[in-house]
Structure 1
Amino acid sequence: MNWFDICALDEINPLGARIVAGPKGHIAVFRTAQDEVFALDDRCPHKDGPLSQGIVYGNTVACPLHNWQIDLASGDALAPDVGCAHRHAAKVENGRVYLSLLP
């Protein structure tokens, strides 16, 4: 994989997100309370709501438009909702956040 250095982990608030420009639109890079990072297209599968503006809890983000719950690890909407936000590989190494833009 080709990894791109995005930022220092401390530049993303715990339970927050940072937006990164991707080849097909914005990507939201999320940080959990446990300092895990996940990256999803910044579009809810329901009505394209900006996931980066949602509330992060555990490994889930709630879409700010209609409260759809999206699993950060898979991008899948939690039942009863159905849909998926495209996921991107992300990792933290030595306090830096890296993102892979490969499919």
Structure 2
Amino acid sequence: MSHWKKVCLLTEIPPLGARVIQHPQGDIAVFRNADDEVFALEDRCPHKGGPLSQGIVYGKTVACPLHGWQIGLECGTAAAPDEGCARRYAVRLEGNAVLLNTEAAA
């Protein structure tokens, strides 16, 4: 059985922005960068729990809206000198559909 679920269309995620997917274990932020790549992280900064979905996306990074921590979208890890990690989720595009697998880390 496949754990991949269609969660939205790429066009439903603003460029350089995110869309929040509600999940029983906590909200998941699905990000879209300028190259239309998609990434999925728990919607919680490892620093103080700020909503990463409200942060500024640039390249393959999101800046937490609370204190500016830089979180890598590919790995979920905070850039040095900060330390911490947001859980990653497997996400992919099939045509214009965004599919998310909440059973597997990216």
State the TM bucket, normalised to the shorter chain: over 0.9
Give the match for residue 35 of structure 1: 36
Displacement of 1:22 after TM fit?
Answer: 1.4
Counterparts of 1:17-96 in structure 2 under 5 Å?
Answer: 17-96=18-97
Give the match for residue 102 of structure 2: 101
TM-score (norm 2): 0.95
Displacement of 1:2 after TM fit?
Answer: 1.2
Identical aligned residues as a percent:
62
How far apart, CA to CA, are the structure 2 residues paired with 1:50 and 1:13? 16
**Are 2:9 and 1:8 aligned?**
yes
How far apart, CA to CA, are the structure 1 residues paired with 2:90 and 2:58? 20
TM-score (norm 1): 0.97
Deviations for 1:48-79, whole angstroms, at most 9, x for unmatched residues? 00000000000000000000000000000001
Name the aligned partner's letter for residue 25 of structure 1: G
SS in 2 for 1:25: coil
Name the aligned partner's letter for residue 31 of structure 2: F
Name the aligned partner's letter for residue 51 of structure 2: P
Bigger share in strand: 1
Structure 2 residues not aligned, in runs of 5+: none
Displacement of 1:23 after TM fit?
Answer: 2.4
How far apart, CA to CA, are the structure 2 residues paired with 1:94 and 1:51? 26
Deviations for 1:18-70, whole angstroms, at most 9, x for unmatched residues? 00011211000000100000000000000000000000000000000000000
